[in-house]
């Protein structure tokens, strides 16, 4: 293999953020391409996924996964090509789903690496047919349990999770109301994704607009944002409402509680009196064995264009940090993916 004139470009986690992450938390380095030993494969990153969970991994705090290590490549899912193999299960040219992180090359022993079948676009394995799509499917179907005629509200409605949740809800006969940032995203949710309504959370009268879009209350709220969206949703939740919780992106960089009265008794009282089911989940920890079931259900829906999917493609690994910051602020439109090579 002739990689002598190339190097491994990598974004290392240089420091842990205090509040919102900044460029100085990352450091771009060029390293030699690692050597491949027996039982290993060398992976060249084609696409890098950028996801909100990465913000939590930057912190050195107890969570469902270990923190990202300082002075090591930032963690992240990738679609990669096997460029050299000394592993019996992989051959040169295989395209795989891996966890190579924010770097152009990585060595793996094959653990956690999965070969990708024929996809219209390999990067879709990081989105609609990967972790975000899987999150949407299991959270809605298992915890949300949508029924014909119910009202489903989903935040971040044009993101990879929210857009999928809403479209699955429509297929189940729900009245689907999206929440998104800006008129363009709301228009897309209605005209392209088929939502019944979409409310712009930037509006001063957001809570009133949401209530008007949900005249029969809310039976399912798919929570991935938190903050003021949850504040507007909670009073509208019906008796026996279900709230799958997969993320709280509005608060990932917060370091203190918001000002104001303690509303915990009010929220807990509402959960009790209205028998609300609110359940957090971590997709591969809670539902990992359901992934084949998800692929079997979702793949034909995507192929038949019953589920629409949009990517926010960024060109070049050097642009990964800014794309990450933009995603955390909702400036992306669709699933954020970095085209590395």
- Conformational region of residue 316, where left means phi above 0, alpha means psi within -120 to 50, and beta covers everything else: left
**Mean pLDDT to the nearest integer, 222-241:** 95
**Mean pLDDT to the nearest integer, 22-29:** 96
CA distance 331 to 329: 6
pLDDT of residue 184: 95
Give the pLDDT band of residue 262 (cuts 50, 70, 90): confident
Identify whether the C-beta of residue 75 lies closer than 8 Å to the C-beta of residue 54.
Answer: yes
Residue-wise DSSP of 170-196: HHTT-EEEEEESSHHHHHHHHHTT--S
Over pLDDT 90: what percentage of the chain?
Answer: 82
Give the pLDDT band of residue 341 (cuts 50, 70, 90): confident
**Mean pLDDT to the nearest integer, 204-216:** 97
Give the pLDDT band of residue 62 (cuts 50, 70, 90): confident
Identify whether the C-beta of residue 11 lies closer than 8 Å to the C-beta of residue 321.
Answer: yes
pLDDT of residue 335: 93
Q: Which residues have CB under 8 Å from 99's CB, separation 6+?
A: 75, 76, 77, 78, 112
pLDDT digits (tens, 9 = 90+) for 32-48: 999 999 999 999 999 99
DSSP state of 102: S
Q: Where are the beta strands (DSSP E) in 289-334?
A: 311-315
CA distance 102 to 317: 8
Give the pLDDT band of residue 202 (cuts 50, 70, 90): very high
Give the pLDDT band of residue 1 (cuts 50, 70, 90): very low
Residue 235 has pLDDT above 50, yes or no: yes
pLDDT of residue 4: 43
Give the pLDDT band of residue 252 (cuts 50, 70, 90): low
**Mean pLDDT to the nearest integer, 115-134:** 89
When the pLDDT of each residue in the chain is averaged and rounded to a whole number, the result is: 93
CA distance 266 to 98: 44
pLDDT of residue 61: 81
- Conformational region of residue 240, where left means phi above 0, alpha means psi within -120 to 50, and beta covers everything else: left
Residue 66 has pLDDT above 70, yes or no: yes
CA distance 30 to 6: 10
pLDDT of residue 306: 94
For the entire predicted model, the pTM comes to 0.86
């Amino acid at each position: 293999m002739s990689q002598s004139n190339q190097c491994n470009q990598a974004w290392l986690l240089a420091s842990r953020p205090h509040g919102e992450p900044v460029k100085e938390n990352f450091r771009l380095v060029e390293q030699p391409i690692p050597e491949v030993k027996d039982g290993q494969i060398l992976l060249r990153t084609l696409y890098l996924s950028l996801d909100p969970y990465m913000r939590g991994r930057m912190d050195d705090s107890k969570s469902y996964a270990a923190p990202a290590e300082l002075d090591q490549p930032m963690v992240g899912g990738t679609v990669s090509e096997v460029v050299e193999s000394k592993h019996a299960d992989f051959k040169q040219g295989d395209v795989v789903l891996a966890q190579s992180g924010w770097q152009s090359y990585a060595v793996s022993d094959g653990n956690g690496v999965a070969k990708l079948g024929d996809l219209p676009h390999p990067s879709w394995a990081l989105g609609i047919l990967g972790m975000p799509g899987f999150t949407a499917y299991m959270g809605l179907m298992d915890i949300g349990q949508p029924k014909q005629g119910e009202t489903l509200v989903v935040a971040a409605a044009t993101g990879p999770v929210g857009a999928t949740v809403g479209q699955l809800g429509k297929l189940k006969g729900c009245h689907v109301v999206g929440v998104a940032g800006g008129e363009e995203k709301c228009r897309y949710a209605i005209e392209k994704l088929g939502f019944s309504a979409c409310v712009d959370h930037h509006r001063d009268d957001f809570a009133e607009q949401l209530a008007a879009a949900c005249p029969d209350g809310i039976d399912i709220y798919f929570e991935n944002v938190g903050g003021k969206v949850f504040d507007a949703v909670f009073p509208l939740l019906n008796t026996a409402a279900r709230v799958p919780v997969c993320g709280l992106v509005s608060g990932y960089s917060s370091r203190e509680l918001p000002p104001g009265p303690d509303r915990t008794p009010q929220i807990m009282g509402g959960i009790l009196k209205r028998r609300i089911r609110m359940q957090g989940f971590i997709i591969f920890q809670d539902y990992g064995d359901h992934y084949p079931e998800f692929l079997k259900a979702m793949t034909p829906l995507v192929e038949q264009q019953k589920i629409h999917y949009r990517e926010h493609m960024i060109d070049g690994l050097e642009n990964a940090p800014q794309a990450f910051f933009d995603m955390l602020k909702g400036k992306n439109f669709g699933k954020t993916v970095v085209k590395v090579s």
